[in-house]
Chain A
Amino acid sequence: MRRTARGIAVLASATLALSVAACGGEEKAAEEQPAVDPASLTAELTWWDTSDPKNEGPAFQELIAKFNQTYPNVKINHQSVPFGEAQNKFKTAAQAKTGAPDILRAEVAWVPEFASLGHLYALDGSELLADESDFLETPLASNKYDGKTYGVPQVTDSLALMYNKELLSQAGISAPPKTWAELKTAAQTIKEKTDAEGVYLNPAGYFLLPFMYGEGGDLVDAANKKIVINSEQNAAGLAIAKDLIDSGAAAKPSANDAYGTMMTLFKEKKVAMIINGPWEVNNVKQAPDFGGLENLGIAPVPGGSVKAGGPVGGHNYVIWSGMPQEKVDAAVAFVKFMSSAESQAFLSEKLGLLPTRTSAYDLDAVKNNATVAAFQPVVEAGVGRPWIPEAGQFFGPLDQMATEVLIQNKDPKAALDTVAKKYKAEVVPSYEN
């Protein structure tokens, strides 16, 4: 009897002690969280930055230096990884469970893919998503997979009509074209009245999306699991693009390295209008002959018969799931700093990148920035892409189709049918055709 009583007493006191300790722990954590000394956070984090090391890299370096003023003991290894290689490089390293960066700047389409493979930390319940509603809806949506959020938007972008103000006024055009038909007349006038060509279309799938969206088309209907790429709307949109080239309003694009050609021609004032995104603003600004930002006009992409809109792009911060748990606090602090409204404002001031937080647009640095102001309606008109793990694979067949239609003069509908067949066979076999 006595022994059992003693045993019960011991047990009771032990549970009591444990629960007290647990309570204490909770209390401590709750108290300490805001008051944590930033200097006590010690870690070394690797960040793979896929932005252009020459145009954009220095601004990110400055931002890291600012971060280290508050967190002196968190060392950030800022590694520049070419955008084209980063996706495969990250997957290889993450699968090998070694050599992947703690933090990655992932393109919007990569996040669902990485998340579906289990390569990312789910960020739900962390400080990073505490003010989730402040983020713009469409960019944030790209981070969601299967009900969880795996990243924080860094920048958002969409395609816009970028034009050379000087050339347009030389041709007597006062306002940028609002529809594809207006664009065609404008381009023809420019070609007649100036030495430059009117417009240069990049024959790549992504850059043709505004034409398809304009007629109300899309790639797939993810909600109903249906492939809609070969719709009449898309064919009509492509026919508009094809007509621009056939009629001579648009320059004849090259099949290889068309993007580079497009940018070179635009920077050298040999073409008046292009369709491109905010990531090239800094590049154009620095071009010696272009005439700086004063000469760069930005307008929403021209519309088709249904609407005007470009695809939403951009980049997110994601954290590799192979990063040890003890580095989590430092990683969260870093991503939080980088995605804060102030940091986003700093980036848009320096580089003209578009913030992903509503509150950032209220800050003076953003409000008074002509480039960002010009891009704001562009982003608002942006069309969200299907955020599924396979989304990255849509563009291979689409690029091929773009070359076929715009350079090899194939029939848009037939080319789109081939794409639909490829999507069914290789990309989304479970979807209905």
Chain B
Amino acid sequence: MTTVTADPAPPTPPSGRSARPSRLRRSWEKHWYAWAMVLPVVIVLAVLIFYPLVRGIWISLTNLTEANQAAEICTRSITGGEVCAENPNKWEFIGLDNYVNVLSGNVGDFWQWTAITLIWTLGCVVFHYGLGLGLAVMLNRPMWGRGLYRVLLVLPWAVPAFVSAFAWKFIFNERFGLANSLLTSLGIDPVDWFANQWTSLFTAIVTNIWLGVPFMMVALLGGMQTIPGELYEAAEIDGASAWQRFRNITLPGLRPVSMTVILLGTIWTFNMFPIIFLVTEGQPAGETEILVTGAFRAAFEGIRNYSLASTYGVLILSILLVFSMFYRRALRKQGEVW
């Protein structure tokens, strides 16, 4: 048996080895310029995306923190000289421990943060898109002062996010804020905005809606301008009402733009750090923390925990990957090429 299999085996590898290079070489001679053309892109992607990604995944499988990253810790003395001692608990590979800890709720509140993140993303994107669409429709017809309105509506976008965040935080200040003095003047009891999970989240969502609507509006306005005017004229001649025109011309005409901006909006809002971090600060008691802010606090307060931060990073990335996969599939069903 062994001799039978052993005998024919040796000749095959050399032949395979000799055949492959020649094919490769032929391909190289024919297509070298194509390889040369894609090379810069491949290098840039490798340096900027693949290397950090692989490294991030690798770090999430270790227990690397700021304190245990150095092989030895050196102490310099002011009188000269340096004492180096080996780090007693150097970082090591720990497998999936980080994931187990995070997903089991042993460290942090992953599931609560995820739920809040989903509510926050859904709330923001629905209102961004709805209000953006409404404003775009209103501004997409000849009217007096249209340019001025457009500029004014884009303004929130031009203000740095942290400035708006502080402004809104102050508006909702429980004692000195505008919101509560308005309520009081209307005879309604002032609300302790940040003492309750939902009112606190509400303040953050309102802030983010204010910030995000301009982008949607501009994008959708651009989309509307690509819809040929003849369609509307023809529909009008056929006696279609304004609503019918909107349903049957504007909306389908906007679909390519809408799909892209909704996807972008979802990803941006999902990872929108400054609003939650600055407006609610996660209050009350961390109940309005979303994944990115929760991960930040868990990993970067005190002695920084790089491995935990990477674990959260990988988890957030996987959620968004799954989302975009489903989203793409849904688009493909509708015949969109994306």
Q: Which residues of B contact A (CB under 8 A)?
A: 66-67, 70, 73-80, 101, 106-107, 169, 173-176, 192-195, 200, 280-281, 283-286, 297-298, 300-304
Contacts and interface: CB of A to CB of B under 8 A. Distances in A.
Nearest to B193: A256
B286 A256 contact: no
Interface in A69-93: 88, 91
B245 to A, nearest CB: 46
Given A256-B169, A256-B194, A392 B302 contact: yes
B283 A122 contact: no
B192 A321 contact: no
B303 A321 contact: no
A358 to B, nearest CB: 23
A407 B193 CA distance: 12
15 contacts: A91-B304, A117-B73, A121-B78, A126-B78, A254-B175, A255-B192, A256-B194, A261-B173, A261-B176, A389-B67, A396-B297, A400-B286, A404-B284, A408-B285, A426-B107
A426 B65 CA distance: 12
B284 A121 contact: no
Contacts, number: 109
A124 interface: yes
Nearest to A126: B78
B328 to A, nearest CB: 37
B77 A407 contact: no
A136 interface: no
A42 to B, nearest CB: 19
Contacts of A261: 173-176
Given A255-B284, A426-B107, A118 B77 contact: no
By secondary structure, the B interface counts as loop
Contacts of A95: 66
A408 B284 contact: yes
Nearest to B72: A118
Given A117-B73, A261-B173, A122 B78 contact: yes
Interface string A102-124: 00000000000101111001111
By secondary structure, the A interface counts as helix
A91 B66 contact: yes
B169 to A, nearest CB: 7
A265 interface: yes
A213 to B, nearest CB: 22
Nearest to B106: A425
A328 interface: yes
Given A407-B284, A425-B107, A427-B302, A257 B173 contact: yes
A185 interface: no
A401 B301 CA distance: 17
A252 B190 CA distance: 13
A204 to B, nearest CB: 11
Nearest to B305: A426
Nearest to A331: B78
A148 interface: yes
Contact of B78 (A116, A254, A332): A332
B303 A319 contact: no
Contacts of B78: 121-126, 128, 319, 328, 332
A52 interface: no
Contact of B301 (A265, A319, A332, A396): A396
B297 A117 contact: no
Given A113-B303, A255-B200, 8 more contacts: A91-B66, A118-B73, A121-B77, A122-B78, A124-B77, A328-B78, A404-B285, A427-B302
Given A254-B175, A255-B192, A117 B200 contact: no
Contacts of A148: 75
B66 A256 contact: no
Nearest to A95: B66
Contacts of A128: 78
A256 B191 CA distance: 13
A393 B284 contact: no
Contacts of A88: 300, 304
Contacts of B300: 88
Interface string A246-282: 0000001011110001001100000000000000000
A332 B298 CA distance: 37
A342 interface: no
Contact of B80 (A118, A325, A389, A404): A325
Interface in A315-366: 319, 321, 325, 328, 332
Contact of A118 (B75, B174, B175, B301): B75
B94 to A, nearest CB: 13
A407 B70 CA distance: 42
A320 to B, nearest CB: 10
A226 B167 CA distance: 44
A252 B79 contact: no
A400 B301 CA distance: 14
B195 A408 contact: yes
